[in-house]
Amino acid sequence: MAIGIIVVVIFITMALLMMLRKIPALLALPVMAVLIGLAGGLPLVGQEGILTYVLSSGALKLAGTYVAILFSCWLSQILYRTGVTDTIVKKAAEFGGDKPVIISICLSIVTAFLFTVLYGTGAVAMVGSIVLPIMLSVGVQPVVAANAYLAAMTAGYVINPANIAVITNITGVAASSMYLCAAILSVMSILFAIGYLVISFRKGGRKFAFATPLATDENDEERPQQVTGVRGFLACMTPLVVVAVMLIFRLEAITVFIIGIIWAMIFTFKGNWTKYSGMIVQSCYEGFKEGAPTTGLMFGIGMIINAMTAPITQAAINPFMEAITPTTAAGLILFVCLLSPLGLYRGPFNLLGLGAGLAASMLAVNVLPVAALSAVFYAAFRWPTQSCPTSTQVVWASNYVGQDPVGTTNKVFFANWILTTISVIVMVLIYF
């Protein structure tokens, strides 16, 4: 029991340091993995050694996940550089005509559609630098535009094969078991975005404001031309093709994204092959660069998982985990719903933070169905994905519209808590 308490103190201490911005998550996670290994009594080297099992093997544990993320970022760059992203967004704006609410809703739906395959802060910036100026120009208030955009992005993110790979690699649940969970969370997130926009329009009306120089004509000149014709339409269907292939053939995320890249290349290639292939290579370089921050986090997350699941550590902390892990459906709902705000600031319900270690430890107790625990953790993960002040996408969107990230996320804090509670209850009813 005492070792379990020590591990909790390590969790809390590192979480506070990250919240106070004294140490970045990229460094905090490996440090925490080492401290947990020491507290659990792991040897320095050997089959369960800190240097060998925790650090070396841990860095490779989520290799499938972060390679999928890198390929997703590569596809993001291709769609942007070939004009597919611009085409989809601007067609949605044209469809809305001169009705601000309809335009904003169309942009939210298209954003969700795009992020079923796009990934990373670069993709958030690429799409956001088109979507947000349009929203602002039709009178959406800056903080509303940022939160609606982030909610729509999250609607796509939760069904993105790269993010589904995160939960499957952490808990070992079958990817197919998470498809229904992801679809429900996606619908909830897009309804959140649409409802938030409609309520904000009715309550606060329209407010014309422009954010940053990114919305200027000079930036528009640098954008690639939009795709046209039948080939252009098929290129715009790339996100739909990727998701359909994942659902129908149930392939691994890496394979799905490779198919998406090939599909996009077939329908966007024109002109000189040497120039086009050079663009593909450059997209790979830039995409991998955009995926590097998340990949770095995956190294630390894998280390924490290995530190927490090593047999020596589990034997030491098992009494404590048995004491705090709920064993009933009602207990699981209360446990996650009451503590779900702890997913913010890379906390214990954020799968890209301390949540990986908590999920692995709760699974090791072996009193909860794997699918149920995976689903509720994925449901709780939606909140920090959309509104964690330390998430790079939140920081970018808030800064773009001239708002503070904390102020932006506070506007929807309780709404997110309510939505998380509802989603967790739904997941337990389906999966428990």
> What is the Cα–Cα distance from 181 to 424, expressed in whole angstroms?
10
List of residues 6+ apart from 360 with CB closer than 8 A: 170, 171, 304, 305, 308, 309
Nearest to 229 by CA among 84, 131, 114: 84
| Per-residue pLDDT tens over the stretch 194-225 | 999 999 988 866 565 444 444 444 445 556 77
pLDDT confidence of residue 206: 59
Torsion sign across C-alpha atoms 242, 289, 381, 423? negative
Nearest to 413 by CA among 147, 87, 112: 147
E strand or H helix that includes residue 192 = helix 179-204
Residues of the chain with pLDDT under 70: 204-223
> 46 phi and psi, to 5 degrees?
115, -170
Q: What is the pTM of this model?
A: 0.88
CA 400 vs CA 125, 294, 369, 410, 429: distances in Å: 9, 21, 42, 17, 39
End-to-end CA distance of the chain: 28
Q: Measured between alpha carbons, how far is 171 from 361 in angstroms, rounded to an integer?
A: 10
pLDDT at 213: 40
